Amino acid sequence: MPVVLLTGFEPFGGQTVNPSWQAVQRLAAAWDGPAELVTLELPVDFRTAGPALAEAVERSRPDLVVAVGQAGGRPDVTVERVAINVDDARIPDNGGFSPVDEPVVPGGPAAYFATLPVKACVAAMTAAGVPASVSQTAGTFVCNHVFYQVMHELAGRSAGGPLARGGFVHVPFTPEQAAGTRHPSMTLDVITAGLDTIVRTSLTTEADLRVTGGTTH
């Protein structure tokens, strides 16, 4: 049975919850798919998130890694296409650290593309009634840091062995988080349904779709 490592984040930026981890927990509790799900809550911390992820990959030896983070202000579930080798924090992380123009991995490639079937995942979510789109940027905060670390870790472990696939997904605020603001939001049930679709699609789809147009971020 394939193993899927599914990660979310702890709250940050003054929030008391993070829908990325809430949805991961919900999916794990209801999961009945064709894989073993291993879940991990990551710290919103540039210095400790990478080692925590690497340890989980070493322990679980996953066939698929889907990291999930919160992107407050986005209206839909966005599947990220590319991670860049830059840490550039607009706000301090939860450890008070604010790197500026620093590499995620010194000497690493400038960028990694996700190896999830990005457009197929978006098409499957849309068909299931989950608002979704492809995103061309994961930012330069801890989400991008973890996305880059995921792909770097999997690339380093693929030599001479089976190729694990990985990528990153951003989810919106929940209605509770967006209350009293003009931010768009999405219920945890819909977010969880989106993650379920992404995991199932990634497990069963090798070649991505070639689709033009559509909303991107």
The number of beta carbons lying within 10 Å of the beta carbon of residue 33 is 15
Quick one: residue 168, left, alpha or beta (phi over 0 = left, psi -120 to 50 = alpha)? beta
Q: Which residue in the list 121, 152, 153, 170 is annotated as catalytic?
A: 170
Nearest partner of 66 among 211, 200, 208, 204, judged by Cα: 200
Residue 80 designated active-site: yes
Q: Which residue in the list 80, 121, 145, 152 is annotated as catalytic?
A: 80
Residue 217 designated active-site: no
Q: Which residue in the list 41, 102, 143, 153 is annotated as catalytic?
A: 143
Residue 152 designated active-site: no
Output the DSSP codes for 68-119: EEE-TT--SEEEE-EEES-B--SS--TTS----SB-SSTT--SEEE--S-HH
Percentage helix, strand, coil, to 5, in the chain?
A: 35, 20, 45
Residues carrying an active site annotation? 80, 143, 170
